[in-house]
Amino acid sequence: MKILVCISHVPDTTSKINFTDGDSKFDTNGVNFVINPNDEFGLTRAMWFKEKQGASVDVVNVGEKETEPTLRKALAIGADNAIRVDTPAKDGFQVAQQLAKVAKDGDYDLIIAGRESIDYNGGMVPGMLAALLDANFINTCISLEIDGDTAKAVREIDGGKESLTASLPLVIGGQKGLVEESDLKIPNMRGIMQARKKPLNVVEPEEVATQTEAVKFEKPAPKGEVKLVDPENLDELIDLLHNEAKAI
């Protein structure tokens, strides 16, 4: 089984979010970039398929040179090969088309992406990729097993879950549940050393169109002071929620 894991390179969850160039660009100053958490769950599940079912695991990112440390980390966790499509990520559709080319060239059986990137929260690349490849697609995937060319998956829905089956090739939008938090691997010294020697292939991008453009950013208006209610006077809280906030 050949697996491709799509890795998006995102600011870590504690990052301060600021913008530059007249609020038109994300300010990367002092920001620590990591593997998108949803992709880390997917990558760890892919390692399980490698260990237990002899799968090969490639990782791919669409981005410029600064994303390479993130791909190296994926190699240190245990991926076999990394591919970087050398172009800035402009919108979900452009990224999906670049990934579709890599996916076709590599003839993968299973493509693991994340439910969404925690930066732009697009939630669109995996579905678009599946549609472009005419492959099956399962989103918000929280459990995945492969037997021959059949996948058994569980997907989270609002208020519950759904069990599904689909044949390969398959694209998933994964999240926590694929593996547990405690299964995530921190690369060890040996992994990091090995990763240095593993191939990281830089490929030229396709000429593709975009459909959307991020024109500017804005930070939420600062919040007013919290109104504190005395624990001995909870009627006041109910009154505020009812009459002021109109929330109950």
Ligand X SMILES: Nc1ncnc2c1ncn2[C@@H]1O[C@H](COP(=O)(O)O)[C@@H](O)[C@H]1O
We find the least distance from the C-beta atom of residue 188 to another protein, in angstroms, to be 23
Choose among another protein, ligand FAD, ligand X, none what residue 54 binds, the Cβ cut-off being 5 to 8 Å by kind. Answer: none
Residue 19 or 120: the one with the smaller Cβ distance to ligand X is 120
For residues 195 and 81, what is the distance between their CA atoms, to the nearest angstrom? 9
Binding residues for another protein restricted to 132-171, rule: CB under 8 A:
132, 134, 136-140, 142, 155-167
Nearest to 30 by CA among 43, 47, 17: 17
Under the binding rule (CB under 6 A), the answer on residue 13 touching ligand FAD is yes
From 36, 44, 70, 140, residue interacting with ligand X (rule: CB under 6 A): 36
For residues 220 and 211, what is the distance between their CA atoms, to the nearest angstrom? 26
For residues 116 and 140, what is the distance between their CA atoms, to the nearest angstrom? 9
Nearest to 28 by CA among 100, 88, 97, 77: 88
Nearest to 110 by CA among 156, 140, 152: 152
Binding residues for ligand FAD restricted to 27-46, rule: CB under 6 A:
37
Length of the chain: 248
From 37, 42, 78, 174, residue interacting with another protein (rule: CB under 8 A): 37
User: What residues line the site for ligand FAD (CB under 6 A)?
Assistant: 13, 37
- Give the residues lining the site for ligand X (CB under 6 A): 6-8, 36, 38-39, 60-63, 89, 92, 95, 113-114, 116-117, 120-126
